[in-house]
Structures are given as C-alpha cells and as structure tokens.
Amino acid sequence: MIPTRDGLAHLAEALESLERQTAEHDVIVVDNASTDGTAELLAERFPHVRVLRLEENLGFGRAVNRAVELVETPVVLLVNNDAVCEPEFVGRMVDGFRDERTGMVAGVLLQHDAPELVDSAGIELDPTLRSWDQLWNRPLTALPSAPAPVGPCGGAAAYRVAAWREAGGFDDAFFAYWEDVDLALRLRLAGWECVRRGDARVLHKHGQTLGAASPAQRRLEAFGRGFVLARFRVGRRGLATRVQIAALDWPVLVVHLLVRRELGPIRERRRGRRAGLSRPPLRAPFELARVSFAEALARQARQLSLRFTGGMPSHFARASADH
C-alpha cells in the first residue's frame, strides 16, 4: 500500500521495485488528489495496480485508513512513495508474522544515497515517549545487535490486519508524522509484539514529499508530539518527566520562533495537545523506553550540529531545498 501526493517520479520507481518482488502480492496506491499526472502514469504503466483516488489530500494516515478498508488479506504492508524495495522485501516482511503474538513487523530503511547507512530500523522511545528512528545514520553493521523496536516506521511497515482493525488503525487526528508512533503504542498496550526483519530493506529518499526540514514538516511534527504527550498523559508521571519534556522540546520550539520567525509549531503543539486530551486517556508505556534522557539530549545535539554544519545526509539537504 502506497499513499502518494504529487510524487510522480518517485512513485514510478517504487512501483517498479514492487514488480520485481519474489512474493505474490497486490498493490494499492492511494492518490491524495495528485495534480502532476499520477493518474495517467498509473493507467498507462501500471494498469494492474489498484488505485484509490481521493478527492482531497487527506494526508498519510487517513489515506491509509481508507485503503485498509478494502483489504481482504491477513497482512498489510505500507511503503512510502519515495522508497525502492529490494526484491525479497515483501516475502521477508510477511515471514515476520509466524508468531501469532506479532502484530507489527518493522522493515529497514536505508539512506538512498548512502545505502551502507540506516535511515530507520524502527521506532524507539525515550523516557518522555519522544520517538527516534532506531540506528539513524549508523552503519548497517550495527543492525544485528540492536534490540527489537517498539514499532515500525510507517515508511516500511507491516501490520496484522486483525490487530490493525482491533486498534482502529491510524488516528484520524494526524495528517502526517507520529501516526505510526501512536498506533504502535496502542498495539503494544493491547498486547501485540513488534519484530524487525533486518533482511527486509528499502532504499529511502527521506522527506521528499513535505521536505525533511520544511515549515509544514515542523508544524506536523509539533502537532504529533503534543498529541502523544496528551493522549498518554506523559507529564502526569511527575515533575522530573515534565522537566525532561521541557529540556528536549522547548529549545527547538524557541529556535523556530526566534530564528525562523515561525509561530506555527507552537500553535500546532497546543492544538495537538487539545486533540490528545479529547481522546480517552491511555496508560503511558514507559517500560518500552530504551533511549535514556542523556542519550536523547546527545542525539538532539548531534542532529542540530549536523544541520548547522551542513553535514546532514544529502537527501535531507535536497528535500529541504526543494520545499
């Protein structure tokens, strides 16, 4: 299943990679009201692909929810439109569901321009339930020793359809970003496990849809963070947790405000909080956190340093420039 919005060039490459798969499968493309010739491309070059054409751009999670309603198979795989799948990807992801307790399988996204480096090996959490892409920018050789993730990154994810429907799928509050984190937490609370298939890999052109550091991405990121904090009542754990949240989140929001002159992320953070509080409260699964607060601060500092020094992976830089 591939949601897309005006991603013509990337989408063709993704679909071509799915045609080379060694396992039998069906493909659904959810077209979020594209205007770049996506419909014509699908009709002419990929007539075997099932297309769900939406009249407006619903975003990632809502589009996927619509498509899962059409699914009759026991497993659904999500792939970004800017991902190129290795030929064994589908088969290896499906093999991950041999244990009946497994509700999610995480694939491995590799950096398109540096395939020896990981883009994401799944989702991991710090003590404030902030999510991190596991092994981001680290060598692929680090994969065997990494623990199982909390859940899959939505760019290369598989779900047991029964578990998905039991949980209600992605929350419709999200347009993009954090919907995979929220669903992973709800599935884990329901007793489902996540495994990673380290041999199921895709090459990923990170952030090609919205831009890896675009104003839209920053607003959506802020909304999702506020939503998860509120829904899982993270701040109610105590003063120490609230201090950790402030230390991790507010310096970034202040930079957006003072350096970029953007009030949008702060507004969206508040809107996300209101939306999260409107949902029934869920227990915050702090036992799933594997990234220490000190490590979270260190990771944030490294990412900021790479951005300011121009050392971010090239696909990040291109995505930012394009948006």
- Which residues touch 183 (CB under 8 Å, ≥6 apart)? 151, 164, 167, 169, 170, 171
Domain membership of residue 89 (yes or no) is yes
Domain membership of residue 106 (yes or no) is yes
Is there a single domain that holds both residue 35 and residue 77?
yes
> For the chain, what is the domain count?
2
DSSP string, 69-129: TT--SSEEEEE-TTEEE-TTHHHHHHHTT-STTEEEEEEEEEETTEEEEEEESSEEE-TT-
Q: Provide the pLDDT for residue 303.
A: 83
Is there a single domain that holds both residue 252 and residue 172?
no
User: The pTM is what?
Assistant: 0.92
- Residue 48 DSSP label: T
Domain membership of residue 210 (yes or no) is no
Is there a single domain that holds both residue 29 and residue 126?
yes
Nearest to 67 by CA among 193, 170, 207, 202: 170
CA distance readout (Å), 24 to 87, 90, 92, 94, 255 = 11, 8, 12, 11, 48
Q: Give residue-wise pLDDT tens across range 280-314.
A: 999 999 999 999 999 999 998 888 777 766 666 64
CB 66 within 8 A of CB 52: yes
Is there a single domain that holds both residue 181 and residue 263?
no
What mean pLDDT is reported for the chain?
92
Name residue, tokens 């039991």: 166
Distance CA 315, CA 323 (A): 13
Is there a single domain that holds both residue 183 and residue 41?
yes
Domain membership of residue 28 (yes or no) is yes
Nearest to 132 by CA among 117, 118, 145, 142: 118
Is there a single domain that holds both residue 154 and residue 236?
no
Structure tokens of 198?
């380290």
Q: Give the CATH number, domain containing residue 99.
A: 3.90.550.60
Distance CA 81, CA 122 (A): 18
Is there a single domain that holds both residue 186 and residue 125?
yes
Is there a single domain that holds both residue 233 and residue 195?
no
Q: How many Cα atoms occupy the beta-carbon half-sphere of 289 within 13 Å?
A: 17
| pLDDT digit string (tens) for the chain, length 323 residues | 999 999 998 999 999 999 999 999 999 999 999 999 999 999 999 999 999 999 999 999 999 999 999 999 999 999 999 999 999 999 999 999 999 999 999 999 999 999 999 999 999 999 999 999 999 999 999 999 999 999 999 999 999 999 999 999 999 999 999 999 999 999 999 999 999 999 999 999 865 454 456 899 999 999 999 999 999 999 999 999 999 999 999 988 988 888 888 899 999 999 999 999 999 999 999 999 999 999 999 998 888 777 766 666 644 433 332 22
Cα-only R_g, the chain? 19
Range of the domain at 293: 215-322
Is there a single domain that holds both residue 160 and residue 261?
no
Distance CA 234, CA 246 (A): 12
Q: Provide the pLDDT for residue 310.
A: 63
Is there a single domain that holds both residue 173 and residue 293?
no
Domain membership of residue 166 (yes or no) is yes
Domain membership of residue 174 (yes or no) is yes
Is there a single domain that holds both residue 156 and residue 78?
yes
Beta bridge partners of 4: 31
Which of 170, 204, 238 is a domain's end point?
204
Domain membership of residue 81 (yes or no) is yes
Is there a single domain that holds both residue 153 and residue 264?
no
Which of 153, 173, 204 is a domain's end point?
204
Q: Provide the pLDDT for residue 312.
A: 62
| Contacts by residues 244-249 (CB-CB < 8 Å, ≥ 24 positions apart) | 244/127, 244/128, 244/293, 245/128, 247/293, 247/297, 248/126, 248/128, 248/130, 248/293, 248/296, 248/297, 248/300, 249/130, 249/225
Q: Provide the pLDDT for residue 212.
A: 52
DSSP string, 185-251: HHHHHTT-EEEEEEEEEEEE-TTTTT-TT-HHHHHHHHHHHHHHHHHTTGGGG-HHHHHHHHHHHHH
Domain membership of residue 209 (yes or no) is no
Which of 150, 169, 204 is a domain's end point?
204
